Structure 1
Amino acid sequence: MQAVHTLFVTGYRSFELGVFQETDPKIKVIKKVIKTTLEQYLEEGLQWVIIGGNLGVEIWTAQLIDELKEEYPELKFSIIYPYLEFGDNWNEANQAMLQKIVEKADYVDAVSHLSYKDPSQLKNHTHFLLTHVDGAIVVYDDEFSGKSTYFVHDAREYAEKHNFLLHLITMDDLQNAVFDDSV
């Protein structure tokens, strides 16, 4: 396994999984699989976990950070938004959830220092991440497309030419975790 010090974690948005409440049991399964995956990389020297701030997998990953830092106090956590004012149009509950994770972050910034203007900001965000991290963990399955399709496509292309790890957590991985007694 290549040395991985910085990982971007992304995947399905909550609405793509039909998750509309933080008490949905799907979240527990997803968090368990992400935590187990991150622990493997932490044992190998992972230092930074980065998210983009999206609702769903990214927020759930951020919620795990305190738990992970108990065993791995050296772990750092960053939010790199695609543009300024990201999440400002979300409802109050989602904005409060985002604010909680911002308070836990070791570093917060945006690739574009402008408010949302056009899709090129999202493309630039992907390019920035691919060129500044060692790899990505993506909760994504090719059979169930979603907004992460674009990132996965670009990451696969990038990985063909660069030393870049793309670790997909598929629906089968999540399903297998459901049948694991420790969920």
Structure 2
Amino acid sequence: MRILTISGYKSHEIGIYKQSDPAVSIIKKALKQQILANIEEGLEWILVSGQLGVEMWAAEVVIELKEQYPELKLAILTAFEQHEEKWNESNQEMYQQIVLNADFVDSISKKPYQNPQQLRNKNLFHLSKSDGLLIIYDDENEGSPKFLWEMAKEWSKKEDYSLTQINFQDLQWLVEESQMDDD
């Protein structure tokens, strides 16, 4: 797999409002494990759409890994122009730092938000430009990732497309594993 799209919950969908929340480090650890496994298989690019939450944490993980794996590249392909303009100042600053460290940044729609079709187009674009999807999503706890996840499952029936899902149980196992390591 050369190109991997990463997505998942927005931070508010899973009750995370601070970067210092312990759940962020668990989510980043899960993402890092999967990214490293894919680097071994020839991964070159990570694609995200720049949403707060899993996608920004994935971008941070990629930026960290680029020190050790300089061939790894990060692309931020947003659904529409100015997607971050309504975010608070600290989130905008974090986003700008990530953008500065990304290898490619663009918007799929060259207009500000107009309608949900832009989000569907973004999902389709990400699927068509990647070889697989890594998603943090639990079928028992619906949220915005559901739309991409459902589209990706259909996509994988027609295309050679890899799907990797990390659910809340997987994250809980990581928490327990970390606690055992600390003992």
Give the shorter-chain TM-score range: over 0.9
Distance 1:66 1:100 in 2: 10
Specify the SS of the correspondent of 2:163: strand
Post-superposition shift, 1:66? Answer: 2.6
Aligned to 1:171: 168
Moved over 6 A (4+): none
TM-score, reference length from structure 1:
0.96
Deviations 1:28-64 (A, max 9, x none): 0000010001000001000000110000000111111
Q: 1:180 aligns with which of 140, 156, 177?
A: 177
Deviations 1:40-92 (A, max 9, x none): 00010000001100000001111112321122110000100000111111111
Distance 1:52 1:138 in 2: 13
Identity of aligned residues (%): 39
TM-score, reference length from structure 2:
0.96
Distance 1:152 1:40 in 2: 21
Post-superposition shift, 1:166? Answer: 1.1
1:30-69 equivalent positions in 2, closer than 5 A: 30-69=27-66
Aligned residues: 180
Distance 1:119 1:179 in 2: 39
1:84-95 equivalent positions in 2, closer than 5 A: 84-95=81-92
1:10-159 equivalent positions in 2, closer than 5 A: 10-159=7-156
Specify the SS of the correspondent of 1:70: helix
Deviations 1:121-141 (A, max 9, x none): 111111111111001100001
Distance 1:13 1:123 in 2: 16
Mind listing any 5+ residue stretches in structure 1 that lack a counterpart? none
Distance 2:103 2:66 in 1: 12
Range that drifts further, 67-76 or 31-40: 67-76
